[in-house]
Amino acid sequence: MTVARQQTGRIAEELVAARLAARGWRLLERNARTRHGELDIVALDRACLVFVEVKAGRRGSHYGPERPILAVGPRKQQRLRRLAVAWMAANRGRARYREIRFDVVGVSFAPGEPPEVEHLANAF
């Protein structure tokens, strides 16, 4: 992954984390590492534990899917489920929740324009 793509991803994650916090979500962890990989954001939306995958892209790009959220296919979903199980096992009792949800947030960037944010709650 190029440095530019890493920076774009970090900017997208910052933007999404700020938006979730502004909506009253309690951010538990960002870039949560497990032995299987990394979760972008782990948060509480009231009594729901939410694992948020952030995808960034450039509007009008000829590479990748048309919308960033479409980059989370079945294999990535399966991987995120495994990461979530590992995170919950390592963080028992850290947060009280009644349900679990997986959200995908896509952030599209275009030069000179504000980013477009698409939040798909309960994506899979």
Domain boundaries, the chain: 3-120
Task: Report the pLDDT value the prediction gives residue 64, as an integer from 0 to 100.
Answer: 65
Task: Report the pLDDT value the prediction gives residue 91, as an integer from 0 to 100.
Answer: 96
**What's domain 3-120's architecture?**
3-Layer(aba) Sandwich (3.40)
Residues 59 and 109: beta-carbon distance below 8 Å: yes
Residues 6+ apart with CB under 8 A from 37: 79, 83
pLDDT digits (tens, 9 = 90+) for 40-89: 999 999 999 999 999 999 887 767 678 999 999 999 999 999 999 999 99
Give the mean model confidence (pLDDT) for residues 89-101: 94
Task: Report the pLDDT value the prediction gives residue 62, as an integer from 0 to 100.
Answer: 67
The whole-angstrom separation of Cα 103 and Cα 98 is 16
The whole-angstrom separation of Cα 123 and Cα 120 is 6
Closest CA to 52 of 75, 25, 74: 25
The whole-angstrom separation of Cα 107 and Cα 117 is 5
pLDDT digits (tens, 9 = 90+) for 8-45: 999 999 999 999 999 999 999 999 999 989 999 999 99
Mean pLDDT over each residue of the chain, to the nearest integer: 94
Rounded-to-10 torsion of CA 120, 122, 123, 124: 180
The neighbouring-strand residues paired with 81 are none
The whole-angstrom separation of Cα 26 and Cα 70 is 26
